[in-house]
Amino acid sequence: MTPNGTAIRAIRRSQYLSLREVAARTGRDVGFLSRLERGLSGASEETLRRIAAALTVPVAAINREEQP
């Protein structure tokens, strides 16, 4: 899966969440999440699910791949 870092950052900021808060909710490192948002890192399907759950959005909202 290809994460849409721009969308992740926009959703996170619209919910007034810090990277630290999302990291705590997902069990992922702050640095990794920062790289993901900037498009410097990819993510597994499991990580995208965790981020989507932390942001209370569907995975499709933070994924670049087209849905069938």
* Number of folded domains that form the chain: 1
Tell me which residue has tokens 């699910």.
Answer: 49
Tens digit of each residue's pLDDT (9 = 90 or more) over 24-64: 999 999 999 999 999 999 999 999 999 999 999 999 999 98
The domain spanning residue 42 has which CATH number? 1.10.260.40
Q: Name the nearest CA neighbour of 59 among 67, 68, 47, 49.
A: 49
pTM listed for this prediction: 0.91
Alpha carbon 63 to its chain's center: 9
**Which domain, by its residues, includes 52?**
5-62
Asked whether residue 29 is domain-assigned, the answer is yes
